[in-house]
Structure 1
């Protein structure tokens, strides 16, 4: 973690922190299993269903951002803090030494990295929030923690896959077309799928109503759009998770003002981050 304190901030009963133990990572994996598999209908790989955790080789090389309800109680009424939100963070220098970026399984990002060899990339992944905690406060805490982490590590660009529910592109024609016409990355930042490219401009531009297009997006994609994210050229179907994935690009120099305006409100922070 390079000197960054584990606890990044607090707001009321919630704390945003980095996982420091295997037990905390397992709790994040259990939350991911609940959201992606039990709620979202993804197909678990061998063993995952038995242990009821979303397990992935990339977990071992990533940092894990957590939002914890410090006042949660178990069924016996005893205080038992609970992981209610998580983000998986993979820095470019770690990816280069180890497994590469997770998103390279679906998207050809080598040209993007080569064009911006002087920049530091951070891949965002496995983002989810417990169904009972999908409030503005919890999501904001995740994003504030992410911002502090990115600034500490001098990150220049946030990247990653973001998902639309379902594997039928025609059923997703409105949100995919909206992203293509309203938020496509310029050539300098554009990324294309490795194979199985799904055309995003399914509808004619004139047929895409802006209000309905935004309303058709999942909450995470709306949050990305809010801060000025741009998206690659083409989507990919992820059969395991039952989603259609798009590639997200957020150069921090382009989004900082909007990011701070949405997610830079007051939050209790450790002294080491205030100084």
Structure 2
């Protein structure tokens, strides 16, 4: 077992077999509720992280997958590139990891699961000299109305630097940076912000200026990037304390 991290009742490990990958796919199918098995042609080329609950017969309670690319010139082979024009990121020179298909079992609500997930990611980043994390961060559903404060907050505080800004590629998008004029209500914004995206933002992450309306997955998602070198030192210490 390729253990990445053990904290309390939870263990994070790398998938080691087709059965492990199938278990991750089963959890994704349950969590995403799309009505069909959640598997695609990225699964065979990704590393899969499984988080198990040792107190529940090692039930898998969280999973995500990682696609490692050597530098930005390979960005177009990522899952995200199917939805976003990522030409600006082709100039990124360091190693990158796309983090995708993140989900937590709907019967588990312990916030420690997300902490362990980030601890496992930190371990992977450190061991593999990763310089940027990226992926698609999803809001549940495809209606924008309930997320307007969250999108306004993204516009005012968290847009990607111009040198990395993704451009529109998908046919159906919500151009929140161009359309929203409201000042965000910070409390409402953070309540509606997905937990995974909230964590990215706390570490200095940034997003695209538009959200993709993905009716297949029944989500709105924004491209999200995080340069490892830009993570505040205090936040790095916290992550490494979990990972340690």
Pairwise same-fold verdict (TM > 0.5)? yes
Give the match for residue 165 of structure 2. 190
CA distance in 2, matches of 1:98, 1:136: 32
The reply on whether 1:23 has 2:7 as its aligned counterpart is no
Instruction: Go from structure 1 to structure 2 and tell me whether the alpha carbon gap of 1:165 and 1:187 turns closer, same or farther (over 3 Å shift).
Output: same
DSSP-derived class of the 2:42 partner = helix
Give the match for residue 134 of structure 2. 159
CA contact (8 A) 2:29 2:35 kept: no
What is the CA distance between 1:171 and its match in structure 2?
Answer: 3.8
Give the match for residue 39 of structure 2. 55
Cα displacement string for residues 186-236 of structure 1 (whole angstroms, at most 9, x for unaligned residues)? 10121122133321134324x311222111212111111121111112111
- My pick for the range that moved more, 161-170 or 15-24, is 161-170
CA distance in 2, matches of 1:65, 1:7: 10
Q: Which segments of 5 or more consecutive residues in structure 2 lack a partner in the other structure?
A: none
What is the CA distance between 1:136 and its match in structure 2?
Answer: 2.1
Instruction: Go from structure 1 to structure 2 and tell me whether the alpha carbon gap of 1:94 and 1:102 turns closer, same or farther (over 3 Å shift).
Output: farther
CA distance in 1, matches of 2:150, 2:219: 13
Q: What TM-score, normalized to structure 1?
A: 0.81
CA contact (8 A) 2:158 2:207 kept: yes
CA distance in 1, matches of 2:71, 2:16: 17
CA distance in 2, matches of 1:184, 1:68: 34
Cα displacement string for residues 28-66 of structure 1 (whole angstroms, at most 9, x for unaligned residues)? 1111111101xxxx353xxx2xxxxx1111000000011
CA contact (8 A) 1:43 1:241 kept: no
The reply on whether 1:126 has 2:101 as its aligned counterpart is yes
CA distance in 2, matches of 1:214, 1:168: 18
The reply on whether 1:91 has 2:68 as its aligned counterpart is yes
DSSP-derived class of the 2:241 partner = coil
Aligned residues: 242
What is the CA distance between 1:262 and its match in structure 2?
Answer: 3.8
What is the root-mean-square deviation of aligned Cα atoms in Å?
2.3
The reply on whether 1:209 has 2:173 as its aligned counterpart is no
Q: Structure 1 residue aligned with 2:115, among 140, 145, 148? A: 140
Map residues 239-250 of structure 1 onto 2, 5 A cutoff. 239-250=215-226
What is the CA distance between 1:266 and its match in structure 2?
Answer: 4.9
Instruction: Go from structure 1 to structure 2 and tell me whether the alpha carbon gap of 1:69 and 1:99 turns closer, same or farther (over 3 Å shift).
Output: farther
Which has the larger share of strand? Answer: 2
Give the match for residue 210 of structure 2. 234
Q: What TM-score, normalized to structure 2?
A: 0.91
Instruction: Go from structure 1 to structure 2 and tell me whether the alpha carbon gap of 1:230 and 1:94 turns closer, same or farther (over 3 Å shift).
Output: closer
